[in-house]
Amino acid sequence: MIETDIIIIGAGPVGLFAIFEAGLLKLKCHLIDSLPQAGGQCSEIYPKKPIYDIPGFPSVLAGDLVDNLMEQARPFKPGFTLGEAAEKIEKQEDGSFIVTTSKGTQHHAPIVMIAGGLGVFEPRKPPVENLADYEDKGVEYIIKDPEFYRGKRCVIAGGGDSALDWSIFLAEKNIASEVALVHRRSSFRGHLDSVQKVMDLAEAGKIKLITEAEVVGVAGEGKVENVTIKHQKQGEIVMDTDHFIPLFGLKPSLGPIADWGLEIEKNAIKVDTRDYSTNIEGIYAIGDVNTYEGKLKLILCGFHEGTIALQSAFARIHPDKKNVLKYTTVNGVQGF
């Protein structure tokens, strides 16, 4: 049994910043995440993607933001249970909680803070009959490390920001030897500047842009060797490739959290905006996993929510203690 003051479910940016804020209150945190590393989507899905709305950083790569948050949390010695999903929560007679993971690891604390982002993700897969046969054999639904595609031929499918951004990155940085972008429409859903950059790279011969088309088949002996593209005007095109990467986004769901008796609205946890508490006393929800009137799904909003929630958590853990707000500019970090 792992004992701590606060169990944080979700080790994304919001959960990681909560460690720091809890540390200032002398509260210990232990984080649970189904992913094998901390950072949530920022580490798993787009570590090399720049983020522009973090205060004080005109631009910061998602992976670098995670590294900075880990460094910020390090003085407070958090614990981590990674690669295990939080599956069951049980409220004890004294009001505390036991959270059990998918591998049976148990955690005990008076406070549970859910910072699970958008929940559990599953990729949206195109309707290609034998696609599953080539998963991890040349078919990938997210790009984790662009260096994996060094010198390889890549066919990317999709019309959103992810498909555009990765096509640009692999082509512009000369990582992939060939980049083809296939989209079923002639217009894209992504940012206009990204669309223009793809057009410019296509004109320069760095991206093979195939619109009004979709990938309908994948073939190869034990791994991807070619894809069949159905074009609305040209008919079927067979293209040799090493990787087929359909980037159609991810489908989020709350997973086991949805069965914990929490009040759910639109696949998110309803909270009281006074302290981001849920309908179960002692359980809070912060970041993209929660919902309330006026909710904005931004990392910086999650930072605020976690800070307020932890003030409430302190009062619940220490009802007889008065917390006097101290400023890090005066006390530093070691002064807490």
- Walk me through the domains of the chain, giving residue ranges and CATH numbers: 2-121+250-331 (3.50.50.60), 125-246 (3.50.50.60)
CA angle, residues 17, 249, 129, in degrees to nearest 5: 140
Radius of gyration of the chain (CA): 23
Q: Is 327 annotated as a binding residue?
A: no
Look up residue 55 and give its two tokens. Answer: 């205060």
Q: Is 234 annotated as a binding residue?
A: no
Q: What is the DSSP string of 8-59?
A: EE--SHHHHHHHHHHHHTT--EEEEESSSSTTTHHHHT-TTSEE--BTTBSS
Judge whether residue 335 has pLDDT over 70.
no
Q: Is 232 annotated as a binding residue?
A: no
pLDDT class of 336 with cuts at 50, 70, 90: low
Judge whether residue 322 has pLDDT over 90.
no
CA distance 221 to 232: 28
CA distance 48 to 59: 12
pLDDT in tens, 234-273: 999 999 999 999 999 877 778 889 999 999 998 899 999 9
Q: Is 278 annotated as a binding residue?
A: no
Q: Is 149 annotated as a binding residue?
A: no
Look up residue 42 and give its two tokens. Answer: 């920022």
Q: Is 86 annotated as a binding residue?
A: yes
Q: Which of 71-75, 120-124, 142-146 has the highest mean pLDDT?
A: 71-75
CA angle, residues 226, 241, 152, in degrees to nearest 5: 160
Question: 292, 277 in Cβ contact below 8 A?
Answer: no
Judge whether residue 119 has pLDDT over 80.
no
pLDDT in tens, 129-157: 999 999 999 999 988 789 999 999 999 99
Q: Is 211 annotated as a binding residue?
A: no
> Position of tokens 């992810």?
162
Tell if the pTM clears 0.75, that is, is over it. no
